[in-house]
Chains A and B, each alone.
Chain A
Amino acid sequence: DSGVTQTPKHLITATGQRVTLRCSPRSGDLSVYWYQQSLDQGLQFLIQYYNGEERAKGNILERFSAQQFPDLHSELNLSSLELGDSALYFCASSVEPHAGKLFFGSGTQLSVL
């Protein structure tokens, strides 16, 4: 158990809808990262927050947004969903703002039908 909690584990929705994925980092970790993993692609970095502020942005679509709250949990909002958004979404956390050593949650499997 990495200590990173993601909910829900599975999410099935329709095109055009909006969903929210939630992540609680390990106790003491200030940095939260969101990754997307599709069947035919490796892990794609979306966005990072450190202590409530956006730290780095990757290949995140404009339809997607995220935030980190004062209690350090984070939410990833996906809107106007398309079939191609179906993927595993991982949250990871680390103590430091610049870190390659990450602790990953077990992911949210999103299926857009």
Chain B
Amino acid sequence: EDQVTQSPEALRLQEGESSSLNCSYTVSGLRGLFWYRQDPGKGPEFLFTLYSAGEEKEKERLKATLTKKESFLHITAPKPEDSATYLCVAYMGSGGYQKVTFGTGTKLQVIP
């Protein structure tokens, strides 16, 4: 069974305290690994796509990396506005079949 597991479930950081969020996946036919940010009561917002092991993407204080079994979202010197739930998504399939599996997310709180 395809699984996407995120850890920790919740993370509380002081402003400026860097850390990493983990997404481990057990899926067949991975076509891409996506990261989204979701603010309370709002729809997820796309952050990154990673397609192959070793790939890295950066945006402001965020950097996403991918290995064959997991992905990390590194947050460098976070600010309170980075507080949100971060979702990892595995995109699988080939030909006419496709499947998207969302992780349950890591809720990040950055304290001033």
Contacts and interface: CB of A to CB of B under 8 A. Distances in A.
A100 B31 contact: yes
A106 B43 contact: yes
Interface string B80-109: 000000010101010000111011110000
B105 A42 contact: yes
Nearest to A4: B43
> Interface residues of A: mostly helix, strand, loop or mixed?
loop
A41 B104 CA distance: 7
Contact of A42 (B43, B98, B103): B103
B36 to A, nearest CB: 8
A101 interface: yes
Nearest to B105: A42
Contact of A107 (B34, B42, B89, B93): B42
Contacts of A60: none
Interface in B6-31: 31
B98 A98 contact: yes
> Interface residues of B: mostly helix, strand, loop or mixed?
strand
Nearest to B95: A98
Interface string A80-113: 0000000010101000011111111111010000
Contacts of B46: 101-103
Contacts of A92: 43
B64 to A, nearest CB: 14
A101 B34 contact: yes
Contacts of B87: 42-43
A105 B98 contact: no
13 contacts: A4-B43, A42-B103, A42-B104, A92-B43, A100-B34, A100-B89, A100-B91, A101-B34, A102-B46, A104-B44, A106-B42, A106-B43, A109-B41
Given A4-B43, A43-B87, A100-B49, 14 more contacts: A41-B104, A42-B87, A43-B102, A45-B102, A97-B98, A101-B34, A101-B46, A102-B46, A104-B44, A104-B45, A105-B43, A106-B42, A107-B43, A109-B41
